[in-house]
Structure 1
């Protein structure tokens, strides 16, 4: 017996099969591209997701597919798929990087229970209501990406609290805000009923089973957003458990048994299980380091070598906010750059300042979480951008936290598979702690007064230049 996890990401679809003990047996992925028909738009034909799923499933060993008894779903959050009564999309899916609705955020005046971004379902659907009446008339359902895919497989039309609460159309527990929907001109019947992430949400249809090489009738879990699935797959199961992910952006997630208090710049969402989580979301981690590497004409090996062999320059600072910032500043207009350059500044020193600037931006997000009441002395560490031991040590020192690297390369897909096992009744909530993957201590923080001084300067610098970012 085994369980399949489907992680429907922004740029790729990943599959992972785990056995009865929660151990990964095999995994595969298929990449695809986002469409940008106009500047600031981010769309994709949902049928591309279906074809990617069929292609990825065909790469899995036949014996592993034959043993699957349940499927769970993880999905990119915030985007939206408008579909008709038969589940067919009436227009391309709109995704979280989409900024076309940035001028429509006045419908969500402060204070809000969670920060609202233009790529969330609420602002995107408001844009639809104002600009595409034909789509409005043709639509029967407004579904989250993973929910559309589950329906395509024969599952129930439903969503879960972890996805619903991140739409800007529901309260923090995921309950639809009917008054807000009416005020925005959005039909309330568009929005699927709530079900627990680990509840059974229908069974695999015969047509879908033939397309994927699986058994018809196996259980489909409702599923959850990719962030809570990654937390589950990485072993977060108790109050205070924390995870740092470093990819294109960065996220710090801290599990909580009770609903956290609202705090500016932080998200408080429902988890895939019966927990909540606080989340700090920082936009510029891998994207900023990759940009700097390109500007300085570095290969990654040389960039790490020169950056960590170079002495830190006390007068050199780098703001990494190349795409604006969410936590803690909530400033989409924020921008970045170096300050303190001199004729003798080396490439290595500039690269080192970039690593430090990214680490400081993560620390600013973690500070917001700590100020909200969570201690966070230890962080589980995941993400492809957190492998180099020198970078890990800098992160530990900057964050003042011990880092434990998680042995789980496909955390969101694994979390989705665990939801499948829960839906099938193979596991129960009390089993989750025992399913946590191995985590090895990767770095412990060292006292570094000079680094602390540079962090204080970083915060002061942002405060001084922030007025430049405001529209004229």
Structure 2
């Protein structure tokens, strides 16, 4: 008998679904459906939660068809979601307004106001174990109180995107430590909600009463609501696990559940994170010492500009991905002196929220498409190196980098990461790491201690041996010079 689990990942651009046989460790089928953004010039980035539900249904059906299995065989479901998003529900469980997303910067002023109230970076670190940033959920609550007070008056439940999907599946209002870490009203050391911050935002007490119940990572939210099981064609007794944020479940999906491994995601934004068994709070404001969804902690850095910046250059020149990579590979390391600071969205790491992108070092001889393509990849990768240096400075050991995300498919980019980080790189066989992590977590939850998470990861997380890339010592030296140039240019901005 097969042990089948469904992993769902609700991201910014779309929802992915994956069917896993946890006994063989094989991914049997995949499905995907896109979302659209509601955008505004003031930094508004919102989404209609109805799209998430529609996409979940489409992606699930696709994955089951692709796997050639019946949904009635599914024993458990895990949900991964984009972090920091704000979903507000009334007492009947109806969504009150579109979800504000992680990439929404409309509440930057409110974030600064809350940070000042906490006592700046130092006060925020002491109280919460991390420094709140504009993308976190907490400033979205203050923004809502200011701009939509009538919505706040009706609010009975405050959920994150993955919490909302769990509610839709089971009817229960729950959250788990990993995703809760990114709200800005959760203490990562004690793993408890910070009610005082919510009382400061709303003295009436509505917000603190609207918080979901916190679960341990291995705990179940519940089983499927009968009408949802019928709608999705799934086993009505299928257990929904606690789930988590996309980074936390991406860690499980890359086997990053013990010290020594670093996961690096080359998506539209870039993330670097590693497991820690203790809460080691970093004094660096840019390092988010989140909890993991596997029972530990997950110190993490996030850059806001990665494949969005390389795609912008690609679109500018009207190039396919292959043509872009070919051109970039024709330019030398350091792009003949051309550098790009790719801060098209502002930037979180380095901490430059109001920065814009720039190209420097251009001359009549080096202003070529090849140099500009290479400078875009180098500039975004230097941002990840900056973040990795912060993590290493805080004691993280890394013997290997596990690479996921769209950029990891490029052999040129893999070699660049290995050389710039001076660390061996390998891709995981399954690039949908968060959906895989969600399915593995569901199997862990259903096994109720009969199987360890380590056993499951060992069986289900597979490395792509032909993607193994080692640093080239001559490249390492050349990139070091180019990286120091990047650091000087960043310093000039901060001055």
TM-score, normalised with respect to structure 1: 0.94
**Cα root mean square deviation, aligned:** 1.8
Report the equivalent of 1:80.
86
CA distance in 2, matches of 1:64, 1:344: 61
Matches within 5 A, 1:11-160: 11-21=13-23, 22-36=25-39, 39-59=42-62, 60-61=64-65, 63-105=69-111, 106-108=113-115, 109-111=120-122, 112=124, 113-160=129-176
Give yes or no for contact 1:334–1:466 (8 Å, CA) kept in 2.
no
Shift in Å, 1:37 = 5.4
Q: What are the Cα deviations for residues 44-100 of structure 1, in whole angstroms up to 9, with x where unaligned? A: 221221122222233222634121011111111001110012211122221111111
Check 1:50–1:177 CA distance in 2 against 1; reply closer, same or farther (3 A cut).
Answer: same
CA distance in 2, matches of 1:44, 1:358: 26
Check 1:351–1:86 CA distance in 2 against 1; reply closer, same or farther (3 A cut).
Answer: same
Structure 1 unaligned residues grouped into runs of 5+: 468-472
Report the equivalent of 1:353.
375
Report the equivalent of 1:258.
278
Shift in Å, 1:154 = 2.1
Shift in Å, 1:390 = 2.1
Q: What are the Cα deviations for residues 132-152 of structure 1, in whole angstroms up to 9, with x where unaligned? A: 121111110001111111111
TM-score, normalised with respect to structure 2: 0.90
2:488 is aligned with 1:460 = yes
CA distance in 1, matches of 2:181, 2:332: 45
CA distance in 1, matches of 2:308, 2:22: 37
Question: Secondary structure of 2:408's partner?
Answer: coil
Question: Secondary structure of 1:394's partner?
Answer: helix
Q: What are the Cα deviations for residues 210-268 of structure 1, in whole angstroms up to 9, with x where unaligned? A: 10001213211121111010110111121222111101111111111111222311111
Shift in Å, 1:430 = 4.4
Check 1:187–1:306 CA distance in 2 against 1; reply closer, same or farther (3 A cut).
Answer: closer
CA distance in 2, matches of 1:297, 1:343: 22
Q: Which has the higher helix share?
A: 2
Report the number of matched residues. 466
Give yes or no for contact 1:17–1:64 (8 Å, CA) kept in 2.
no
Give yes or no for contact 1:204–1:218 (8 Å, CA) kept in 2.
yes
2:397 is aligned with 1:363 = no
2:17 is aligned with 1:9 = no
Give yes or no for contact 1:314–1:454 (8 Å, CA) kept in 2.
no
CA distance in 1, matches of 2:429, 2:61: 26
Q: What are the Cα deviations for residues 271-329 of structure 1, in whole angstroms up to 9, with x where unaligned? A: 111121111111111011111222334332222222212234453222122212112x2
CA distance in 2, matches of 1:183, 1:284: 33
CA distance in 2, matches of 1:359, 1:56: 31
Question: Secondary structure of 2:135's partner?
Answer: coil
Structure 2 unaligned residues grouped into runs of 5+: none
Shift in Å, 1:433 = 4.2
2:411 aligns with one of 375, 384, 389: 389
